[in-house]
Structure 1
Amino acid sequence: MSRYDVYGALGSPYSLKVRAALRAKRLPHTWTGMTAEDRGRVMPNVKAKVIPLIRTPDGSWTNDSTPFLLGLEGEGRALVPTDPRLRFVCLLIEDMADEWFMKAMFHYRWFYPEDAKWCANWLMFDSLPNAGREGVERNAEMIRSRQISRMALVGCTPETAPVIEASWKRTCKALEAMATGPTRFLFGDRISLADIALYGQLKVMSVDPTPMAWLREDTPYLYRWLDLADDASGLDGEWLEPGAAIATAPVKALLAQAGDTYLPFLQANANALAGGQESFEVTLEHQRYRQSVFKYQAKCLDTLRAGWNALGADDRAALRGPIGEGAGIL
């Protein structure tokens, strides 16, 4: 039987995103929590040394979750609505989860000493299953120092911490309204790629000490929803009609956040790249935010603009209101 082989890690949001997507699509696959030994064996198959790695049924390898999953839309159950308007909304929220929401995961994991110690030990325990406690904790010190040293590169600094935490909590509260609403997922009773991307980030945070405590106290039903999204293979349902889906409070809140936070972030990054700058500053969540430029995020903006311009005039008009002034960036 043809199958997909996923090599990932329980502490990797993109690994859990891919696994949950394959489960939801009901496609045959295996899951390998990648050890250091596995890494040496499978990493040479890809150019960018990031996880998860996926071996496809034809024997080829890939590790960019979004292109991989979009390429699978013709297999198993679809995760992206076919309606053009709803498809764009789904992909916008998915992109925001991958490129902006992930900053909260990285921030909480390495900013707070308790979290940094816990997470480094946990990650190394998975990577070195036979090293014993002393070996795990000795190596954990190295990964902790390395990851903390990378925080400023991705915009996770003491100065940006309030922006990142405020934005993350804003998203979580919107998702709590979804979890306690009349439908199981953002666009109805059928899980989408947007749901799964948000799930991937939140699932790893649900075991990291500081975000776990906040989630359980302030958004307890979102916390429980994560187990629902983890394996939706047995959940049947339909998406709402586009107008109804976009009019729900959770989706409206996420579109507004894309308009006033995520799209301005992408625009500032693109402008800085075009001007030859190494970093940029922008006001987000009523506070100043600064980070180094990233070429990949400029590609994300180009892709979103292409999707926006492919919409009909009526669809763009219907989305301008919920997105707000940020729609002009598109």
Structure 2
Amino acid sequence: MNPYEVYGALGSPYSLKVRAAMRAKRLAHTWTGMTGEERGRVMPNVKAPVIPVIRRPDGTWTNDSTPFLLSLEGEGRALVPADPALRFACLLLEDMADEWFMKAMFHYRWTYAEDQEWCANWLMFDSMPDAGQETVEAAAATIRARQISRMPLVGCTPETAPVIEASWQRSCRALEGLALGPSRFLFGGRISLADLAFYGQLKVMSYDPTPMAWMRGETPYLYRWLDHADDAGGIEGDWLGTEEALGSPAVTALLAQAGDTYLPFLTANAAAIAAGEETFSLVLEGGQYSQGVFRYQAKCLETLKAEWAGLAPDVRARLAALIGPGAELLD
């Protein structure tokens, strides 16, 4: 059978998430850092021009990491616990990493001058490895200007910077506790989809100058843990029991953050879309946060609500006690 073909970039958190997931699942795959030439060949196969792009063994293509990885649960090793409570916790935290935690990656990358220069040159060198320094740096200047211009759209502004940085640091401190054990990953000795989502964002940030320095100084074991998550294909292990997993400090802290920050964020976005608004604003992490609406994130909330509705009442009650009042937003 043909292998899965993964086309991505080393500076792309979702690309690294998918690559690490394929390694953890022990599925035959190839990895291609996509150059400009390959982009012209690969991108026409998908609707949205985002990476990674994956060609399945049957010849079909996709590029949305979460639905793709969930579709592979029947192949290789599972990334989502079968236990209903742990499954929902895993899906909620994975979604938070993909849609909220990622704002810190974008913020740090394009806010600070040192990060802007480093990252733009890095991204363009990977895309144009044989072009030469002058061409690479000219292209980097273009992408740098484009990405900086997009910052307000995704909520990365001078006004929201304190909220984004405080929220990211809060999550990192929770994950630092995970890195120090006693379980190797969020839900036991086996890496989960949630672990991989946090890993993808943090791995690229571990190269970007400002977040790299913060992680090395404040959460050094989380920084080291990233290399464990990068290739968990040889790490044996199993899921913890429900109470043990939900009682771990890292999972408890992250679920509470999902309740007081991520679910209110998703709900405000969905409400603004329903009202025909183009932007929304709310208080998060003790500060004012505003951004443009995103329809994809409204779909994320719908998916989480559907998963929540499918849980037994006692399971919802157990999770609600950890998520806090924000759990009501899932009803």
State TM-score, norm by structure 2. 0.99
Matched residue type, 2:14: Y
Residue aligning to 1:204:
204
SS at match of 2:283: strand
Q: Deviations over 1:252-287 (max 9, x none)?
A: 000000000000000000110111100000110011
Letter paired with 2:82: T
Q: Distance in 1 between matches of 2:139 and 2:292?
A: 28
Alignment partner of 1:49 is 2:49: yes
2: CA distance, partners of 1:129 / 1:81: 40
Is residue 137 from structure 1 mapped to residue 137 from structure 2 by the alignment? Answer: yes
Look up the equivalent residue of 1:323 and give its one-letter code.
I
Give aligned pairs, total.
330
| Counterpart check, 1:15 vs 2:22 | no
Distance 1:264 1:83 in 2: 26
CA distance in 1, matches of 2:3, 2:321: 43
Corresponding residue SS for 1:7? strand
Tell me the distance in 2 between the aligned counterparts of 1:325 and 1:289: 20
Q: What is the SS of the residue equivalent to 1:280?
A: strand
Residue equivalent to 2:215 = 215
CA distance in 2, matches of 1:119, 1:148: 12
Tell me which residue corresponds to 1:97: 97
Instruction: State whether structure 2 residue 273 is matched by structure 1 residue 278.
Output: no
Point out 4+ residue stretches in structure 1 off by more than 3 angstroms.
none
| Cα deviation, residue 181, structure 1 | 1.9
Show CA shifts across 1:29-78 (max 9, x none).
00000001110111100110000000000000000000000000000000
Letter in 2 for 1:221: Y
Paired with 2:271 and 2:285, the residues of 1 have a C-alpha distance of: 20
Work out the CA distance in 2 between the residues paired with 1:62 and 1:307.
23
Backbone CA RMSD of aligned residues: 0.5
Partner of 1:61: 61
User: Residue type of the partner of 1:158?
Assistant: P
Match of 1:118 in 2: 118
Alignment of 1:1-330 (within 5 A): 1-330=1-330
Tell me the CA shift for residue 221 of structure 1.
Answer: 0.4
Q: Deviations over 1:163-211 (max 9, x none)?
A: 0000000000000000012111011111000000000000000000000
Looking at structure 2, the residues matched to 319 and 78 of structure 1 have their Cα atoms a distance apart, in angstroms, of: 22
SS in 1 for 2:239: coil
Q: 2:242, 2:204 → 1: CA distance?
A: 31
Structure 1 position 2, deviation (Å): 2.3
- d(CA) in 2 for partners of 1:126 and 1:134? 14
For residues 45 and 319 of structure 1, the distance between their equivalents in structure 2, rounded to whole angstroms, comes to 40
| AA partner of residue 230 (structure 2) | D
Provide the secondary structure at the position in 1 that maps to 2:48: coil
- Identity, % of aligned positions: 73
Per-residue deviation, 1:103: 0.2
Alpha-carbon shift at residue 321 of structure 1 (Å): 1.0
**Aligned equivalents of 1:138, 1:293: Cα separation in 2:** 32
Unaligned 5+ residue runs, structure 2? none
- Give the partner amino acid of 1:286: G
Q: CA deviation at 1:243?
A: 1.2
SS in 2 for 1:151: helix
**Distance in 2 separating the partners of 1:88 and 1:315:** 10
CA offset at residue 156 of structure 1? 0.4
Q: Could you tell me which amino acid in structure 2 is paired with residue 238 of structure 1?
A: D
- Could you tell me which amino acid in structure 2 is paired with residue 260 of structure 1? D
